[in-house]
Amino acid sequence: FQHYDYVNADAPKGGTYNSVVLGTFDSFNPYIVQGSPAAGLVGFGGGLLYDTLMEQSTDEGSTSHPLIADAYKYPVDYSSATYRLDPR
């Protein structure tokens, strides 16, 4: 899988992203059990700080592609999944 049809693979890289969110937090870890994680860390597309194993396609409802994984496999009954992480 190279990239989605609607993505410009030659788009310029780099730059700065600024975002404002009102509220308080005590951790950049969105999965903490106690405390308040910062807003915007998790959401559609994996959030702004952490990537996910797979990325859901926005134009194909039940299709996902590896993001930090470079390969995956699962049995016919979907009882488990095995991911191989991209070494980059």
What percentage of residues in the chain have a pLDDT greater than 70?
89
pLDDT in tens, 55-87: 877 777 788 888 888 888 999 999 999 999 988
Q: Which residues pair with 84 in a beta bridge?
A: 71
- pTM for the model stands at 0.49
The two three-digit tokens of residue 76, written as one number: 């016919």
Q: How many CA atoms lie within 13 A of 32 on its CB side?
A: 13
Rounded CA separation 41/47 (Å): 5
The letter for the amino acid at 11 is A
Q: Are 41 and 52 in contact (CB under 8 A)?
A: no
Give SS3 for 45: helix
Q: In the predicted model, is pLDDT for residue 22 greater than 70?
A: yes
Rounded CA separation 78/44 (Å): 23
